[in-house]
Structure 1
Amino acid sequence: MEHQHLALVVDDEPQMLDIVTFALETQAFSHVSAKDAVTAWQLFRARHFDLVVLDVMLPQSSGLSLCRRIREVSDVPVLLLTAKSGVQDRIAGLEAGADDYVTKPFHPRELALRAEAIVRRSAPTPESSELVHGPLRISQEKATVHGRYLHLSALELRLLRRLASAHGQPVSFRDLLLSGWQIDEGPGGREMLKTALYRVRKALHGEGLPRAIRAVRGVGYELGGPGG
């Protein structure tokens, strides 16, 4: 029997909850909902979820704060809902650890497809080989340095894996954007990429690889020598 994905939907507007849950049901998601960050956190800690759909504007505590809290303990895909479409707003979401975002108002079909896509991209593929780059080992499920687990989101892991698959050669901005978000270059795309890779660099720096990811001017990024 095929596994039915379970989503945690967090929004304080009843009408928006109805729209989001309806959209998810079209992709065969089951769901649990919460109207505030406190309740959402309690639910998240009590059950295993395959996806979190999270409104940025919540009572008591912001969606970004909850996203950061989730990211401290889990790499579950997080899809943000936001009424703000500016580049800096999207970057703030990525800095909080989100994998993708949908700007309100949106068509339910768009949300459903984005939700299905990020869950699919984050799912491990048994036949995929592990990539080895010096002390760095990267599978579709996790990355380790000298056997120590790197705490990365599903998005960040995809970007690191794409860099490692190039075996030290530069990977273009466009290629990385397609690997991370399945989007071509557009307004703010490179800034989004820079923000996401900053988080990967920070994780690698904490394990003694401060210069593992290098920018290649006018081209993209590359994974440096095995010694970092």
Structure 2
Amino acid sequence: MTTESWKALVLDDDPHIASVITFSLETRGFSWETASTGKEAWNLLKKQHFDLAVLDVMLPDISGIALTQRIRTAYSLPIILVSALGEESERIEGLEAGADDYIVKPFSPRELALRAVLAVKHGSGRADAAMVSNGPLQLNLQTNTATWNGTRLELTDIEFRFLLTLASQIGKVVPISHLLNEVWQTQETSGARDMIKSTVYRLRKGALAQISKPDLIVNVRGLGYSMQKL
């Protein structure tokens, strides 16, 4: 892969800092998209393929560290955190959350660009991390598609994210609150159980019936849902 094909997601609520980052990435051949909030960045990730994410830590709606943790549940792209917080404990927290690198402001644009290239090159060997599997069921995080023994399953985005969330914790009970956060990106509980039941019903009558596995998703009454290990 050449740098001409690399695309970066740049998240910073300061337009000046965002422009410095995007300019530095351009010098290394990156194309880019920018976001100023975590929600906006997450929506871009769901719609487009990115080879790198450069995230500010201090954001108006969610911390860059919390967003890194969320990204790691669904995507394998390299992540660079950029922050004015440079204490050792803060850097360690970012790296433990799943970031590949942590750069402290003020930073050298040339150094950031170099680290971006290195992060992408090192991350190119992580292709297996872009796939979540449970026996013959494979969920591709880069294309948001699912296959059963190589045959593609017809799923809506919600159904894919629901299966992905369960498949990421096979055999474990996933609480309703976690499903709401990961699948619907909300913490609003009003009508939540009916919404989840409807999704499970559609899956059992649709994709899971297609593969003769309507019982793959298990309702653990009062706690949440789980996926059987195949």
The structural deviation recorded for 1:13 is 0.2
Aligned equivalent of 2:100: 99
Distance 1:57 1:146, change over 3 A: closer
Q: Which has the larger radius of gyration?
A: 2
Distance 1:122 1:28, change over 3 A: same
Matched, 1:141 2:127: yes
Distance 1:54 1:148, change over 3 A: farther
Listed as ranges, the matches of 1:142-221 within 5 Å are 142=128
Aligned equivalent of 2:159: none
Q: How many corresponding residue pairs?
A: 138
Aligned equivalent of 1:36: 37
Aligned equivalent of 1:4: 5
Matched, 1:85 2:86: yes
Once the two structures are superposed, residues 155-197 of structure 1 have per-residue CA deviations (whole angstroms, 9 ceiling, x without a partner) of xxxxxxxxxxxxxxxxxxxxxxxxxxxxxxxxxxxxxxxxxxx
The structural deviation recorded for 1:141 is 3.0
Aligned equivalent of 2:21: 20
Percent of paired sites with the same residue: 46
1:57 maps to a residue whose letter is M
The structural deviation recorded for 1:64 is 1.0
TM-score normalised per structure 1 = 0.55
Once the two structures are superposed, residues 84-134 of structure 1 have per-residue CA deviations (whole angstroms, 9 ceiling, x without a partner) of 11110011101211110111000100100000111011113xxxxxxxxxx
The structural deviation recorded for 1:142 is 2.6
The structural deviation recorded for 1:75 is 1.1
1:38 maps to a residue whose letter is K
TM-score normalised per structure 2 = 0.55
Distance in structure 2 (CA, Å) of the matches to 1:6 and 1:102: 19
The structural deviation recorded for 1:145 is 11
Once the two structures are superposed, residues 19-45 of structure 1 have per-residue CA deviations (whole angstroms, 9 ceiling, x without a partner) of 000000000000000001111111111
**Structure 2, unpaired ranges of 5+:** 138-169, 172-230
Aligned equivalent of 1:45: 46
The structural deviation recorded for 1:148 is 9.9
Distance in structure 2 (CA, Å) of the matches to 1:12 and 1:64: 15
Distance 1:46 1:85, change over 3 A: same
Instruction: Give the secondary structure class of the aligned counterpart of 1:76.
Output: coil
Distance in structure 2 (CA, Å) of the matches to 1:98 and 1:147: 29
Aligned equivalent of 1:61: 62
Distance 1:72 1:145, change over 3 A: closer
**Structure 1, unpaired ranges of 5+:** 125-139, 150-205, 208-228
Distance in structure 1 (CA, Å) of the matches to 2:127 and 2:39: 29
- Worse-matched range after superposition: 22-31 or 58-67: 58-67
Distance 1:59 1:142, change over 3 A: same
Instruction: Give the secondary structure class of the aligned counterpart of 1:142.
Output: helix
What is the CA RMSD across the aligned residues, in angstroms?
2.7
1:87 maps to a residue whose letter is E
Distance in structure 2 (CA, Å) of the matches to 1:85 and 1:65: 17
Distance 1:148 1:95, change over 3 A: farther
Distance in structure 2 (CA, Å) of the matches to 1:11 and 1:93: 16
2:127 maps to a residue whose letter is E
Distance 1:148 1:84, change over 3 A: farther
